[in-house]
Amino acid sequence: MVTNNHTNPLKRGNSLPHMLSNDDYRHTVAKEDPELRQAFCTGVLRERGAEYADAIGCLRYVPDRFVPDGNLSILVPRVQPTYMKTSGGLLSKFNLGTRATVTVFPEAFDLRHHANLDDFVVSLVGHEGWYARSFFDDPELVRDFNWEVEHKRRNRKLRAEVLATKNQRAYLTTRNSPSYAHKVQENLIRLEVTLLHIRFP
């Protein structure tokens, strides 16, 4: 009888592999074990001062409500598919500051989108962290009114995405992500061009 003795190294309490930092190791293990992703992402936010996020959830799939509709996906082109999302509470719809909830989808742990820990942190802290801070300090920037005129609603979403991506680009200077920096810059250019097209059709 053959038994599978492979278990997550963290659960065995093994020491860190040679040449891997503690953060790198936790990221590597979280990619392999969805059960550890929640604790890993929470730690990344807390350790880097993203105090505006009230909660973080790591999902095993992308619910339909988080899949952009066709019109929005045209207006907000992305280099990568949606893999993280930050949402404000009910108070944010009334322009009142609130702590946000960050949702991380399984695609965030795909090497095609985040090749290493630095790429992941740039997205989680640099991009989603901006949204979380805005929901708390200035919800006018990011609030989403379902009853708002569609054109204004798309315009607001796009402006917020541009600002979040600029913050992500600035945060890149603190990380070692040269290839990811190119993707972020490319995405920012496409977003800004799209915004100009909407303003001056």
Contact present, 44 and 59 (Cβ < 8 Å): no
Distance of CA 147 to the CA centre of its chain: 26
CA 36-38-82 angle, to 5 degrees, is: 115
The domain spans of the chain are 18-199
Residue 196 vs residues 31, 61, 99, 108, 158: alpha-carbon distances, Å: 38, 34, 31, 29, 10
Whole-model pTM: value is: 0.76
Contacts of 145 (CB under 8 A, 6+ apart): 93, 153
Residue among 123, 159, 125 at smallest CA distance from 53: 125
CA 49-50-56 angle, to 5 degrees, is: 135
> Tell me, what's the pLDDT at 196?
85
**From first to last of its 201 residues, what are the pLDDT tens digits of the chain?**
333 333 333 333 333 333 445 878 888 888 888 888 888 888 888 777 667 777 788 877 655 555 444 444 443 434 344 688 888 877 776 767 788 888 898 889 988 889 999 999 999 999 999 998 888 888 888 876 655 566 777 788 889 999 999 999 999 998 888 889 999 999 999 999 988 887 765
Contact present, 77 and 96 (Cβ < 8 Å): no
